[in-house]
Amino acid sequence: MAKRIFITATNTDIGKTHATKLLLKKYAQMGFRVGVFKPIETGVITEPTDGKELLNLAQKLNPEFQVLHVNDIVPIQFSLAAAPYVANKAGAINKETLLNALLRLEKLCDIIIIEGAGGLYVPIDKETMMIDLISYFKAKTLLITHCNLGCINDTLLSLKALESENISYEWVLNCKNLDSSFDTVSKPYFKDRFQEIFSINDDISKLAEKLLN
C-alpha cells in the first residue's frame, strides 16, 4: 500500500490544489513515485478542472500514470458546484467504489496525495462527511488554513475535529498577498499556541518530511 496523504482545508478555495501540487513535486524530487487522487469533484461541466490539472502534473512526475484517464483520478463527478450531498440530490455515494479506485492508483506509486473537496464537514451523502472519508482511507492529513481574520477560530475548530476522530495530521498556513493583517492580528496567537507554524510556500520540505512520519 502506498503512503496516503489526504489534503483538506478549513473551507473551500483555501489552497488544497496548490498544496497538492507542491507536495507532488517535492516527493518526486525526493525520489518517490508519486500519484494523485481526487475522489469527488463538483462543478464539472466538460471535464474535472482540478483533476485534469493534477493528473497532468502526476503524469510528468511519474511515467506510470501515463496510462490513466482523468476519470481514473476523479471517479465521481457532479455538474453543480456545491457540496456532493446537494450536487447528488442527497443520493448515496458508495465509499467502496472510491476505495477500489484508490487501490488501483496506489499500485502505480509510493506516495499518493488525496485531495478532498471543501472542508472537513462538507456533506457527501446522508451518512458521510468529508472527515469520514479521511478515516475510511486511513490517511494522514494535511490541513490547509487561510490567513484572513477568523483563521484562528477556523483552524482550531478543524484541528479539534481531526483530534476527535483520532486522525493523524499536520497543518499549514497558506497566506496570500492580500492577507496583510495576519502578522498583526492572528500570527501572535499561533506563535504562542503552537511550537511551530508552517507556511505552505516556505516550509514545504519540512512538511513533506513530517507527513511521512
- Active site (catalytic) residues: 38
- Quote the CA–CA distance of 55 and 206 in Å, as a whole number: 24
Query: With contact defined as beta carbons under 8 Å apart, do 130 and 122 qualify?
Result: yes
Give dist(CA 106, CA 111) in Å, integer: 7
Judged by DSSP in three states, 212 sits in: helix
Contacts 24+ apart (CB under 8 A), 184-189: 185/149, 186/147, 186/149, 186/151, 186/152, 189/152
CA angle 25, 78, 22 (to 5 degrees): 10
What one-character-per-residue DSSP string does 131-156 give? Answer: HHHHHHHT-EEEEEE--STTHHHHHH
DSSP letters spanning 185-202: HTHHHHHHH-S---BTTT
